[in-house]
């Protein structure tokens, strides 16, 4: 089960605000929103599970490489730029 706390910095008790500010390395501004998430640590994978995940990823990448092997590099560049622009409006490619 997880817990979430969302507060304006000004609404925190002074000692809480000071302690959290010390943790992030700077004081909070009054207009900042503070969000704290608490959730249990997920169970670690066993070595066998980890290897199975790696194997499935490698198989997926191999299938993807096979399906896309005939796409020219320039077209890949355009595909990637289009994807970046769709998730980051205003994205500009660095040159």
**What's the predicted TM-score (pTM) here?**
0.44
| Cβ neighbours of residue 27 closer than 8 Å, sequence gap 6 or more | 17, 18, 21
Tell me which residue has tokens 């969000």: 35
> pLDDT 10s per residue in the chain (95 long)?
789 999 999 999 999 999 999 999 999 988 899 999 998 888 889 999 999 999 999 999 999 999 999 999 889 889 988 898 899 888 877 76
- For residue 12, give Cα distances in angstroms to 7, 23, 28: 7, 15, 10
The secondary structure element, H or E, covering residue 30 is none
Give the containing element (helix H, strand E) for 38: strand 33-38
Q: Where along the chain do its domains lie?
A: 3-38, 47-87
């Amino acid at each position: 089960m997880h817990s979430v706390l969302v507060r304006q910095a000004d609404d925190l008790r002074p000692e809480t605000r000071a302690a959290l500010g010390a943790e992030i390395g700077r004081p909070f501004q009054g207009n900042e929103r503070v969000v704290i998430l608490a959730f249990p640590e997920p169970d670690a994978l066993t070595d066998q599970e980890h290897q199975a995940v790696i194997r499935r990823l490698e198989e997926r990448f191999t299938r993807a490489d096979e399906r896309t092997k005939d796409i020219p590099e320039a077209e890949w560049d355009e595909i990637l730029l289009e994807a970046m622009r769709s998730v980051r409006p205003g994205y500009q490619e660095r040159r």
